[in-house]
Amino acid sequence: MFGHFNPKKFQGNLTLILICTLSTASTLALFADDQVSGEGLLNTQEEQHSYLTFYYENDLFNGEDANYTSGGRLSYITSGQPAVDIAFIQHTLDFLSGGEDSSELMKSIWGLGDRSKVRYSYGFALTQQMFTPENKFSAEPDPGDRPYVGWLGLGFSVHARDHRTLNSVEISLGTVGPHAFAEDTQDYIHDIRDLDKFQGWDSQMPNEPTLNIVFNQKRRWHLLEDASLPMNLEIDGFHETGVSLGNFLTDIHVGGLIRIGWNLPVEFSDARLTQTAHTQRLFSNGEGAGERWSVYAILGARGSAVFHDITIDGPVFRSYDSNIKREPLLGEAYIGFGVRRGNWEFGYVHTYRSKQFKSQGDPQGFGSVAIRKQF
């Protein structure tokens, strides 16, 4: 069946989907204040908002330009009803979310409380990531170095939350290879900054469509909220667990995050470009900071057991040897800050990541920026 795959047709269909999605996002942003709840989903006086967030990551923040070198994500999320309602995808997401429309198995796994009080948000995101070897001047990567890889994906997600838990499920459709346009994006950025261009993109990983589904759960730490801190400081935190399944990435991950500052925003997403990165109301209770300033610091860590990573292991359905061997365990530690005023928020996080493949010279550091607008 894969012998009949037509990359030009796939590219055309993907481009059409992206154009339609971004057009819909612009329309929804203009009329977000007029949204109504989806029937049976959100019977509450909790104020509803939509959030548009731009994420950007680059290892140049750490003085490097190799391995995971850059990533960008534009996400839009809304409460009450899907931002883009594709029936088959939406029914699948609702079925897996742990909410009222889920199977009994998924409800027991997700562990939500009274499902009549569960609140829902729906999102989609356009994401691009790129990976390059350390030697930018060679026409092909050196032996044992990372191959050239670009990935472009479109994600649809549902997020179910109660007073303690936030469950997220995202389905992403994408592609690696030249149809991800990573070379074009990188060359454009390097032209703007007058940087040397990488010369080996002609050897990049070939085109292959990707399909991934990601489950992620965040659970808040109530013990921190009872802590008494000087200068009216507030503190909170949560741990997260999740699994990603698909030919782009298959892994199991766990992590935790602590925030400390003034007027901690209920609407939150740290700046890292994770697969389920969306700015939204974390849990169903609590009030936003309104027009007040929010200033806070964050500290966190994440560990993963990786079973497949297409950027290292290569395509599943195409013949391609990456010439490197993946590390099965991956660790990250990160620190950053955020500033919020009214409907705008800026965040920065610096991440230190362990080696992703065995012949990698050193662990990697990179910076992440997030700019969010609430509607």
CATH number at residue 96: 2.40.128.140
Residue 328 is given by DSSP the state: S
- 1 inside domain: no
Q: Is the pLDDT of residue 212 over 90?
A: yes
d(CA 242, CA 269) in angstroms, rounded, equals 16
- 39 inside domain: no
Q: Write down the pTM of the prediction.
A: 0.83
User: How high is the pLDDT of residue 224?
Assistant: 76
Other beta carbons within 10 Å of 141: 20
Per-residue 3-state assignment (H helix, E strand, C coil) for 36-88: CCCCCCCCCCCCCCCEEEEEEEEHHHHCCCCEEEEEEEEEEEEECCCCCCCHH
Do residues 294 and 268 make contact, with C-beta atoms less than 8 angstroms apart? Answer: no
d(CA 142, CA 106) in angstroms, rounded, equals 46
Provide the pLDDT confidence category of residue 82 given band limits of 50, 70 and 90.
low
Q: Which residues contact 86 (CB under 8 A, 6 or more apart)?
A: 156
- 115 inside domain: yes
User: How high is the pLDDT of residue 4?
Assistant: 39
User: How high is the pLDDT of residue 42?
Assistant: 37
Beta-bridge mates of residue 211:
173
Per residue in 215-272, pLDDT (tens digit) is 999 999 977 777 778 888 999 999 999 999 999 999 999 999 999 999 988 888 889 9
- 40 inside domain: no
- 16 inside domain: yes
If one counts the domains in the chain, the total is 1
- 303 inside domain: yes
Report how far apart, in Å, the C-alpha atoms of 324 and of each of 2, 252, 312 are: 25, 21, 7
Per residue in 298-326, pLDDT (tens digit) is 999 999 999 999 999 999 988 888 999 99
- 67 inside domain: yes
- 38 inside domain: no
Percent of the chain surpassing pLDDT 90 = 54
Q: Which residues contact 55 (CB under 8 A, 6 or more apart)?
A: 71, 72, 73, 74, 75, 271, 272, 273, 277, 368, 369, 370
Residue 246 sits in which domain range? Answer: 8-29+48-374
Do residues 155 and 141 make contact, with C-beta atoms less than 8 angstroms apart? Answer: no
